[in-house]
Amino acid sequence: MKDLTTGNEGKLIWQFAMPMLLGNIFHQLYNVVDSWVVGNYLGKEALSAVGASHPLIFLMISLVIGVSMGSTIIISQYFGAKDYNKVKISIDTLYIIMFFSAITVTIIGLLFSREIFQLIKLPEEVIPSAVSYFNIYITGSIFMFGFYGTSAILQGMGDSKTPLVFLIISTVMNILLDLLFVLQFDMGVEGAAWATVLAQAGALFSAIFYLNRTHKLIRISFLRLTFDWEVFKTSVRIGIPSGLQQVFVSLGMLALFRIVNDFGTSAVAAYSVASRIDSFAIVPAMTFASALGTFVGQNMGAGKHERVKSGLIKTLTMTGIISVIISASVIIFAHSLVSFFTKDLEVIAIGAEYLQIVGYFYIVFAGMFTFTGVFRGSGDTLIPMFITLFSLWLIRVPASIFFAKVFGLVGVWYGVPAAWITGLLMSILYFAKGNWKSKVVVKRPLETAPAAFEEV
């Protein structure tokens, strides 16, 4: 656990973000490994099935991720205020939320997956594989949510290293099981899905075992969890806007797939691959924004509001430099990156075209997300939700549809940076207005607090 309320702001955020960055890279490897194995050994139809499944998976878990974000903010602010009893109660409540959410998401996903793929007009030859992959993947949501919750708890208390260890273990398991199930057992896309489910289960159970034996605040016993309605309501109040924001993002991804689907299986496969590379490219920006959110949460909880602006400026500087390096790399090596996933020349050409358009704008995405990190850390998640809603559904989707009619498939890609630019401008304006400062959960630091964890 790490106290982020004292010390050099930039150094603290950098040190806290680095383990999270490695963890998020390993987390992205889940999808990348699936796509690599499927694309190289099962063909572009299977690659399209896996690629089309991930936006739907993201849609199904978006609200839960949002509530998890809300709980992280609450935990970080109580931790910053040194109210450790509230920290423990918030942890218990989050686990209960995760459990019942996983059951609900699994049932809904299994009932409606085929209808959703048909609704977005996924090519008919791809739908059976997409349904099989998705249904197996979503069956393991209880493990996925459990690990998300555990990572959120630890990050809220300033611990970004422990989740990294278990993510590495899980990713290695996923790679080995992918190769075993797909290449050795010839299980097709179903094998790739089962590999991910089992790897996530392994990560969750090993994390629980380790934390129960070593952690000062976390003692996970599912038969003795305490549910707190006030914490739940606050988590929902803060988390639902973030969850809805994620829903809008995932629906936007599905809408883009719907537009791309009209251009055939090669276009779907190319967009699937480019999206995987895109996800990697924006990981640093999202990670530093998340680290900044925890930094802001602890400092707002401790009443040290003056440190927030300094943390923002230093995070913008770090993510800006990193984004320029990533943009140059993606643009220069676009064809090589896509060819890592497939040898189909048409798919490679289309995917590289996407990256060489969108790659110029990663710095814009980094700026937008960094400001969002400040808003979330303070507990203000409603306005970022509206910014996302506006930039996605009034800018990105309409622009992609219009440009597609004028320029063909290449026009679809220009809708992505158009939305990012709009989101950044709106975020800057809202930050300058300053209303986000009044949304903090802990209104003032406590006068007295337990001196050590053991005393709680």
Give the number of residues written for the chain. Answer: 456
Region at 342 (left for phi over 0; alpha for psi -120 to 50; beta for the rest): beta
Domain limits of the chain?
A: 9-447
> Which two tokens mark 55?
């936006």
pTM for the structure as a whole: 0.72
- Nearest residue to 283 via CA among 250, 226, 322: 322
Between CA 377 and CA 371 the distance in angstroms is: 10
Between CA 375 and CA 82 the distance in angstroms is: 22
Q: Helices in 282-305 by DSSP H: which ranges?
A: 283-301
Is the CB of residue 250 less than 8 Å from the CB of residue 55? Answer: yes
Per-residue confidence in pLDDT tens, the chain, 456 aa? 566 778 888 899 998 888 888 878 877 776 677 778 888 888 888 888 888 888 888 888 877 777 777 777 788 778 777 787 888 888 888 888 888 989 999 999 999 999 988 888 888 888 999 999 999 999 999 998 888 888 878 877 777 788 888 888 888 898 899 889 988 899 989 998 999 899 989 988 888 888 777 776 666 666 677 888 888 888 777 777 777 777 777 788 788 888 998 898 899 889 988 988 988 899 999 899 988 988 888 888 777 878 888 999 999 999 999 999 999 999 999 999 999 888 889 999 999 999 999 999 999 999 999 998 888 888 787 888 888 889 888 898 999 999 999 999 999 999 999 999 999 999 999 998 877 777 666 555 443 343 333 333
DSSP state of 360: G
Between CA 426 and CA 447 the distance in angstroms is: 37
CA distances to 53, 91, 119, 126, 449 from 56, in Å: 5, 28, 12, 15, 44
Residue the block writes with tokens 């089962």: 194
- Nearest residue to 56 via CA among 111, 10, 1: 111
Is the CB of residue 294 less than 8 Å from the CB of residue 372? Answer: no
Question: Torsion over CA of 206, 212, 144 and 355, rounded to 10 degrees?
Answer: -80
> Which two tokens mark 172?
């290695």
Between CA 342 and CA 274 the distance in angstroms is: 11
Question: Torsion over CA of 7, 10, 15 and 21, rounded to 10 degrees?
Answer: 150
